[in-house]
Structure 1
Amino acid sequence: MSGTGPVLQIESLSCGYGRFDVVHEVNLHVGRGEAVALLGPNGAGKTTVLRAVMGLVRNRRGSIVVGGTDISDLPTHRIASGHAAIAPEGRRLFTDLSVEDNLILGALHLRRDRPRVQALLASVYALFPVLKAYRRRRSAFLSGGEQQMVAIGRMLMSDPEILLLDEPSIALSPVAVEIVARALMALRERGASLLLVEQRVDVAAQVCDRLYVLRHGEIVEEMSAEHARRGEHSMIDTYLG
């Protein structure tokens, strides 16, 4: 972890859909330059936490603070303008557009600052050289792993304080999973802060510093990734099972 103070602080968050809460009194934080994983079985509320940070699910109770700013009541477009950005599950690219057009869409709020947009684009291409080679290719013609790279790159183009990734390893080949994991570790080395939703403990332990386990909308366990890497995660396996 680098710097001081958390870049993301979630306190007593309760939120859901319709009349029902899916997430109950969740407390978690991500330090500056830290990568944190949120693990749990399907339906545990992991994605709902990410959606709440992005303002896509309105929190009923609690607070969400990013970089010292309470974003709990901000609209999504304000949150996405430098506070937080998400690489969603399923990638959700505009497949008829080129790789570069998809990337530039992530920097819409910076469109008047062309030098900054070009610098961000260069940093994405440095992280994923294959995307530079394919920058004019329609995203529909990329592999699943390459599409995930575009989704991560588009998130980076908004230059956010916190990066949110929802199941980045899902439906990828083992080789693509390793490429994505190495890219996330490279982002950490650049000083990026990440909150990663995952079901694969091995990927989370490889990339992250700390792990939270969410079950039935509640945090039931927190541990260092080092413990998980040592195989000391029987409780995590129990909760995921």
Structure 2
Amino acid sequence: MKKVLLLLLVVIAASCKNEAKKEVKKETVVEAKKETFPTELGKVFQAHGGIDAWRKAQVLSFNKGEEVHTTDLHSRKIVVNTPEYSLGFDGKEIWSLEEVEGSLKRDPAFYYNLYFYFYAMPFVLADEGIIYEKVADLVFEGTNYPGYKISYKANVGTSPDDNYIVYYNAKTYKMEWLAYTVTFKSKAPVDNYKMIKYNSWENVNGFILPKQITWYKKDGNDQLSATSKIVDFTMPLISQGKLADSFYEKPAK
């Protein structure tokens, strides 16, 4: 709880110093072309607030149920706090702590940054060490969604064999779908993609960030249908105020 209150104080102080813009920051295609990602993805980043503005931000926080996820956007240090358990990455080690014995039913090494990646879409697709490949459109209910496959160079991250495909609205360039593979346990490439529909977004200090996502499944004819797995994100915060390194360390029990 102390860490959550500290985060709120930092964000409030940063907000007083820098007035939050209500409108999404515009970014020219020329700026996007300076990057290593395709121009079309540059337009997707622009539709969500702009990659330049994103790289100036320091801290991202959101709630998933009782979990409070807080990330340093530059070091990728992370803390996930709940009343019953906490886990995170302090820059060197992944750690976990149970306030209630048996409450953490997830592998911290797999879970600590899982929802950060889902929530920080599409901006995490501009990380270093990424390879981009244009793929066939996703067709859903008569609408075509252009897509790009994202893979990683060897030894990038804990699961370099993971692949993502981002599908976006051809008119607005807003992200609509995410296809992804999970190789954490197998440590080998797989072709079985899981599908997430980004149902709704909200403006958070000029960034368009997800509010709700739903997992979809494919039938024998590759037709997509919604599952019962729906995640709502609440209490979004993004700030240029930096938190102390100690915020991400394992607390003393």
Report the TM-score when normalising by structure 1: 0.29
Q: Whose radius of gyration is greater, 1 or 2? A: 2
Which protein has greater RCO, CA pairs closer than 8 Å, 6+ apart?
A: 1
Higher helix share: 1
